[in-house]
Amino acid sequence: MDELALKYGCNPNQKPARVFMEDGALPFKVLNGKPGYINLLDALNSWQLVSELKEATGLPAAASFKHVSPAGAAVAVPLSSTLEKVYFVEGIELSPIAAAYVRARGADRMSSYGDFVALSDECDAQTAAFLKREVSDGVIAPSYSDEALSLLKEKRKGTYLVLQMDPAYQPAPIERKQVFGVWFEQQRNDVKITEDCLKDIPTKAKNIPSDARRDLLLALITLKYTQSNSVCYAKDGQAVGIGAGQQSRVHCTRLAGNKADNWFLRQCPAVLQLPFRDDVSRPDRDNAIDVYVTGAGDELLKDGEWQRLFTRKPDFFSSEQKAAWFSRMKGFSLASDAFFPFGDNIERAARSGVSYIAQSGGSIRDDNVIETCDKYGIAMAMTHIRLFHH
């Protein structure tokens, strides 16, 4: 039996704690740091996500995980000059795996604060340098360059968790877990998410272009490793809004839609031109931008507060400015881990520029959902695959 002792379980009072394999060796090596229980839950879930993204798209992939759900996921699509500024990488030529990581981390930076990172490809020195500057608990990847490993071993006073995953590892087809002394057993969810899932399009709009198909696959695979109920908005090769663990699906759609809206608002010239002081850290900038774009700008611009952040007092971000910018929000993709029971989900999605949807179908109100898609000219594919994850 191969086993690894952990600091504690989910909480400090839950001792002892360990992970182990009854047969064979653990499929990962600890290259630095000491893993915790939640670290490894995040690592093993996020590794599956990026591996499947790489397989489905052929592109290097990265994920940012927090509390067993992704805060961000992305594949290696080049960044626009606007996103370079939004993600604090202006003028830097990015390697493919670095581009995937920067996208995954940048979509919802507040949720990614203190995350666990997964990389589908070798961690190079550039990606390690970006990791080193962020608040993060650890990373899992199939390999590390010598320079990358050296950089990561310096992070968090030498305690940063670095895991090397065996990419050839294949788990047993049956998985088990115990809850309250009771064993649960099931077939692993090894369903493949491919473009074949997007062939059944019952809406009047039928065309889903290649970029949107890529984004729908990304969103579906992301949801496969997101606590249910869950909904994911995607654009340009990355998740831009994830709603996880909500009891009501429309609440997932609203939560994820609000995150997608904030992601889009961060690209508005009024936000890009905020005159931050040079000594303001990235986390403080993220917090200030979040306040600025979500309607509390009057609090941010109060006398005495703005001087701490800005070289001059910025203009108030008006609802009229936001509405004008939102009018450009188009071409987004949306996936759901199960069927939409009501058309209200589509109504909310349309407000955030969704043009393409993938969902399982199978609701008694499918006709209403299709009709609502037709109202907005949305092309919707029914995958006939449910992706609950618990």
- Residue 263 pLDDT class (50, 70, 90 cuts): very high
Q: Are strands 136-141 and 115-119 parallel, antiparallel or unpaired?
A: parallel
Only one residue has tokens 């070798």, namely 122
Instruction: Find out whether 193 and 217 touch, Cβ atoms under 8 Å.
Output: yes
Instruction: Rounding to the nearest 10 degrees, give the CA dihedral for residues 309, 90, 282, 30.
Output: -170
pLDDT bracket for residue 317 (50, 70, 90): confident
| Amino acid of residue 156 | R
Domain pair 2-170 / 175-265+326-382, same fold: yes
- Local confidence band at 291 (pLDDT 50, 70, 90 cut-offs): confident
Domain ranges of the chain: 2-170, 175-265+326-382, 275-313
Task: Map tokens 């709009």 to a residue.
Answer: 205
Q: Which of 45, 229, 262, 345 is catalytic?
A: 229
Q: With 0-12 CB in 10 A as exposed, 13-18 as middle and 19+ as buried, what is 99?
A: buried
Residue 229 among the catalytic residues: yes
pLDDT at 141 over 90: yes
- pLDDT attached to residue 286: 86
What pLDDT does 10 receive?
94
Does 296 score more than 70 pLDDT? no
The pLDDT-based confidence of 297 (bands split at 50, 70, 90) is low
Question: Tell me: the pLDDT tens digits for 156-207?
Answer: 999 999 999 999 999 999 999 999 999 999 999 999 999 999 999 999 999 9
Confidence of residue 298 (pLDDT cuts 50, 70, 90): low
pLDDT at 313: 85
368 catalytic per annotation: no
Residue 11: pLDDT above 90? yes
In this prediction, residues 206-227 reach a mean pLDDT of 97
pLDDT mean over 246-268: 94
How far is Cα 344 from Cα 250, in angstroms, rounded to an integer?
Answer: 7
Q: Please determine, for residue 299, whether its predicted confidence score (pLDDT) is greater than 80.
A: no
389 is catalytic: no
66 is a catalytic site residue? yes
Structure confidence at residue 14 as a pLDDT band (50, 70, 90): very high
Is the pLDDT at 214 greater than 90? The verdict is yes
Q: Catalytic pick from 32, 45, 54, 66?
A: 66
Q: In percent, how much of the chain has pLDDT > 90?
A: 87
Predicted confidence at residue 153, as pLDDT, reads: 97
pLDDT in tens, 42-98: 999 999 999 999 999 999 999 999 999 999 999 999 999 999 999 999 999 999 999
Assess whether pLDDT exceeds 90 at residue 305: no
Contacts of 284 (CB under 8 A, 6+ apart): 309
Report whether 324 contacts 306 (CB < 8 A): no
| Residue 254: both structure tokens together | 């609203």
- Which entry of 67, 85, 251, 389 is annotated as an active-site residue? 67
Section 124-133 average pLDDT? 97
**The model's pTM:** 0.95
Per-residue pLDDT of 142-170, as tens digits, reads 999 999 999 999 999 999 999 999 999 99
Burial label for 287, CB within 10 Å (0-12, 13-18, 19+), is: middle
The distance from CA 191 to its chain's CA centroid, rounded to whole angstroms, is 20
CATH architecture group of domain 2-170 = 3-Layer(aba) Sandwich (3.40)
Q: Domain 175-265+326-382: give its CATH code.
A: 3.40.140.20
Per-residue confidence at 315, pLDDT binned at 50, 70, 90?
A: confident
Half-sphere exposure (CA, 13 Å, Cβ side) for 91? 0
CA distance 118 to 41: 12
In the set 13, 157, 207, 390, the catalytic residue is 390
SS (H, E, C) the chain: CEEEECCCCCCCCCCCCEEEECCCCCCEEEEECCCCHHHHHHHHHHHHHHHHHHHHHCCCEEEEEECCEEEEEEECCCCCHHHHHHCCCCCCCCCHHHHHHHHHHHCCHHHHCCEEEEECCCECHHHHHHHHHCCEEEEEECCECHHHHHHHHCHHHHCCEEEEECCCCCCCCEEEEEECCEEEEEECCCCCCCHHHHCCCCCCCCCCCHHHHHHHHHHHHHHHCCCCCEEEEEECCEEEEEEECCCCHHHHHHHHHHHHHHHHHCCCHHHHCCCECCCCCHHHHHHHHHHHHCCCHHHHCCCCCHHHHECCCCCCCCHHHHHHHHCCCCCEEEEECCCCCCCHHHHHHHHCCEEEEEECCCCCCHHHHHHHHHHHCCEEEECCCCCCCC
